[in-house]
Amino acid sequence: MAPGHVKQAAAGTRGRDSADLRSQVKPAPFAYHRAHSVEEAVALLAELGDEAKILAGGLSLVPMMNFRLARPAALVDVSRIEGLSYLRADDSADDGAGGGLRIGALTTHRTVETCRDPAVRRGYGVLPRSARWIGHYPIRSRGTFGGSIAHADPASEWCLLAVLLDARIVLTGPGGQRTVPAAGFFQGYYSTAASPDEMITEIWFPRPAPRAVLTEFARRQGDFAIVAAAVSVDIQEGVCRRGRVVLGGVGPLPVEVNADPLAGAPAAGPTWQAMGELAAGQIDPPEDTHGDAGFRRKLTVTLVARALAEASRTAEASQTAEASRTAEASRRAEA
Ligand SMILES: Cc1cc2nc3c(=O)[nH]c(=O)nc-3n(C[C@H](O)[C@H](O)[C@H](O)COP(=O)(O)OP(=O)(O)OC[C@H]3O[C@@H](n4cnc5c(N)ncnc54)[C@H](O)[C@@H]3O)c2cc1C
């Protein structure tokens, strides 16, 4: 369809047939626009106003429209915009020269999961490792990173990891670009700091997090987590220097709990269990058909302890790898 071409979708407006059609379709009527560039998408959003919504993979938006939980008057389809599917990594921390990992908004979950770039695997391996928790293969093949962040489900893996890894959300609007820290971006159930005329174009992870782990519990494989725990821990000579814990499914947005007691504690099972209990004491989880608050607290204890134990094994493995790299480098220097 040519730029700016509008198609009336769902319940059509063509005389006699429209009533029949209206009874057969699930979503409320909407106009469809396809954008071919970020500039065109942003201009359409500005022109169409609050009633328009971006369509990316459609995996969250379309079911909501089918249940008429969302009734946008217009959709701006961004899925064919070129140049927004990428992972660009530099595993040094950002030094003002553009380090870190940049993920384009239209990058699918599957592209992250299958990324083999050594710089991504080394510094940000938690992202490819965690993608397997997202839905099923078809969901991961079509759903986008930017769509997950924009949808802001409080149990979404990418939302949790964005907070844990201090990601910055890059938004493009009619006035240009702005960058919002993930911690301030999520504002409640399915609610973010993005304006209706802004599009997420990139998610930037400024610092590597080699010792981060996400784990979760769902009743069936592929379901959203009932509770998810994302942690990072820095361990030196068997002692934790610092750690962070972010939880999903326990409130309206990803919840970071106070993990200060990890600093100075031995890197061992009792520390992970104590941190799990401390985390569970800091949350006020909701009650729904998937479980009550007590169940979510118990899950929190187990998942935090499990994630920290896994992160500590990752820490040991990377220290061993680092030590052998250093030994190899000095052998070569001596030869
Ligand atoms: C059966 C099933 C299981 C799932 N399981 C999980 C799971 O375990 N974990 C998980 O995290 N997700 C899960 N999902 C959701 C999936 O990850 C979606 O891909 C994701 O939530 C939304 O991405 P999308 O590209 O499909 O966005 P869409 O559905 O197209 O859009 C979602 C929302 O984001 C907005 N939006 C999209 N892109 C942008 C952008 N670039 N800028 C601004 N706004 C934008 C849209 O307007 C809309 O409001 C599941 C979905 C299904 C159907």
Q: Are residues 196 and 219 in the same domain?
A: no
Q: Are residues 221 and 156 in the same domain?
A: no
- What distance in Å separates the CA atoms of residue 259 and residue 276, rounded to the nearest whole number? 10
- What distance in Å separates the CA atoms of residue 335 and residue 321, rounded to the nearest whole number? 21
Residue 11 has pLDDT above 60, yes or no: no
Q: Are residues 162 and 222 in the same domain?
A: no
Mutational pocket test of ligand 1: of 59, 140, 157, the residue with most ligand atoms within 8 Å of the beta carbon: 59
In a domain, 30, yes or no: no
pLDDT value at position 15? 46
In a domain, 14, yes or no: no
Element (H, E) at 100: strand 100-104
What number is the average pLDDT over the span 155-173?
98
- What distance in Å separates the CA atoms of residue 230 and residue 314, rounded to the nearest whole number? 14
Q: Provide the token pair at 159.
A: 């939302």
Structural domain boundaries enclosing 157? 87-205
Residue 285 has pLDDT above 60, yes or no: yes
**Among 205, 239, 270, which residue terminates a domain?**
205
Q: Whose CA is nearest to atom 10 of ligand 1?
A: 156
**Based on the structure, what is the number of domains in the chain?**
2
pLDDT value at position 3? 42
pTM above 0.85, yes or no: yes
- With left for phi above 0 and alpha for psi between -120 and 50, is residue 312 left, alpha or beta? alpha
pLDDT confidence bin for 334, thresholds 50/70/90: confident
The per-residue pLDDT for range 94-152, each reduced to its tens digit, is: 555 558 999 999 999 999 999 999 999 999 999 999 999 999 999 999 999 999 999 99
pLDDT confidence bin for 201, thresholds 50/70/90: very high
Q: Are residues 296 and 229 in the same domain?
A: yes
Q: DSSP 3-state assignment of 134?
A: coil
In a domain, 274, yes or no: yes
**Among 205, 231, 261, which residue terminates a domain?**
205
Q: Are residues 234 and 187 in the same domain?
A: no
Distance 42 CA to ligand 1 centre (A): 19
Q: Which residues make Cβ contacts (< 8 Å) with residue 111, sequence separation at least 6?
A: 85, 87
Atom in ligand 1 nearest the alpha carbon of residue 158: 11
Mark out the alpha helices in 143-292 (DSSP H runs). 145-151, 157-164, 182-185, 269-281
Q: Are residues 191 and 262 in the same domain?
A: no
Single-letter code of the amino acid located at 272: W
CATH number of the domain at 186, please.
3.30.465.10
Contact 168, 101 (CB under 8 A): no
